[in-house]
Amino acid sequence: MSKELALFGARPEFDSPLHVGQPNLGDRSRLQARFDDILDRAWYSNNGFYLQRFEEALADFCQVPHVVAVTNATLGLQIAVRALGLTGEVIVPSMTFVATAHCLEWEGVRPVFADVDPGTHNLDPRAVERAITPQTSGVMPVHVWGRPCDVEGFEALARRHGLCLLYDAAHALGSTHAGTPIGNFGQASILSFHATKMVNSFEGGAILIRDDALAEKCRRLRNFGFAGKDRVVSLGTNAKMHEVSAAMGLTSLEAFAAFAGVNQAHFQQYRQEFADLPGLDLVDLEPAEVPSMHYVVATVDPRAGGLTRDDLLAVLEAENVLARRYFYPGCHRMAPYAERGPWDLPVTEDLLERVIQFPTGTALDPEQVHRIGQIVRAAFAQAGRVRAWLQADAR
């Protein structure tokens, strides 16, 4: 017999909200010792000890020569856009967090949206090629869910058209393509260490760079354009990561393997919970290339299972499971980009109506994953009743 659903008046499965991404915390005692050391050093910002250690650890982890840690990933993208001298138009996916587009618009560059691949959910090089105009100066693919883009396809395209290639790698810390870490493709890649990312620095980001001159330019832009103690050589901003965030980032990075192990176990359990469930397809990621497994994402097919993605969300929310419909409604439907349409993005628009993200991370335990699985199975088993209930409620 199926579980009685809270949607119909039963007690919610969870007493308190279960979020998609509760913050992970590494070794608390080590973090506290680092905080104490920061206070003892009385050096809280401006290229301090822990910022340098964090950048060194990231460079080693990502196997890149240069890491420029910044206040957040959005500023990291803006700095990279400015450092690369991007102008006119840059082609991006709409199926991404709005910061991908906003960072360009903020820098006076027009985002142009191209469609994604239906299998990978990543920007499609063929769609990008169709969107290139004489005003195009670059392409900014996103490694969605941490799955690396078609890097060979994009590098060949960039060479053919003389374009800059900048990667939004906010999801992709630790990801590799054919064994090569993601920071080694394009001119630069930007990571996010927002509080809900697997590795977090409370708030933060980093620019991964291979070119010495570009790295130095990004460092100047991060710090008001200073080149030395009291010499300003260019325009710049204040995007310096402070010591407390760097200490948190370093502590969190040291726990990557432990965090990834938990996520991988949750992913495999979700796979079992959802096995042979018509209408729900888990987006399969390869742990060898995406070891973080930070995102548990599925697509919902109402023709196969009788429920839409939003029907399933309503069921889960009634049970205090706050699943998400990433990246709804899509950047191209948001201000200021919607008024520039219409945009021809059929694959993107289909996915935006069907993608759902489930909770994972260290705040979740296997028994909770099982309970989420039971809710989902009950929802599909009672699909007709769920649809009728929600349609009546809408009236």
Question: Mapping DSSP to helix (H, G, I), strand (E, B) and coil, where does residue 67 land?
Answer: strand
Cβ neighbourhood burial of 128 (10 Å; 0-12, 13-18, 19+) = buried
Domain locations along the chain: 6-22+256-323+359-394, 28-254
**Domain covering 6-22+256-323+359-394 in this structure, CATH number:** 3.90.1150.10
- Judge if 6-22+256-323+359-394 and 28-254 fold alike in CATH terms: no
Which residue(s) pair with 163 in the sheet? Answer: none
**pLDDT at site 395:** 64
For 47-102, what is each residue's pLDDT tens digit? 999 999 999 999 999 999 999 999 999 999 999 999 999 999 999 999 999 999 99
pLDDT digits (tens, 9 = 90+) for 15-39: 999 999 889 999 999 999 999 999 9
Q: What is the 3-state secondary structure (H, E, C) of 312-347?
A: HHHHHHHCCEECECCCCCCHHHCCCCHHHCCCCCHH
pLDDT in tens, 184-203: 999 999 999 999 999 999 99
95-131 pLDDT, tens per residue? 999 999 999 999 999 999 999 999 999 999 999 999 9
> What's the average model confidence in pLDDT over 153-164?
98
Which phi and psi (to 5°) does residue 105 adopt? -55, -40
- Whole-number Cα distances in Å, 239 to 78, 139, 158, 312: 10, 23, 29, 40
Q: Which of 385, 395, 392 is nearest to 306 (CA)?
A: 385
In sequence order, what are the residues at sequence separation of 6 or more whose Cβ sits closer than 8 angstroms to the Cβ of residue 289? 147, 148, 175, 176, 177
Average pLDDT of the chain, as a whole number? 97
CATH node for 28-254: 3.40.640.10
Contacts of 91 (CB under 8 A, 6+ apart): 111, 112, 113, 114, 123, 128, 131, 132, 136, 138, 139, 140
Residue 1 has pLDDT above 60, yes or no: no
Helix H or strand E encompassing 38: helix 28-41
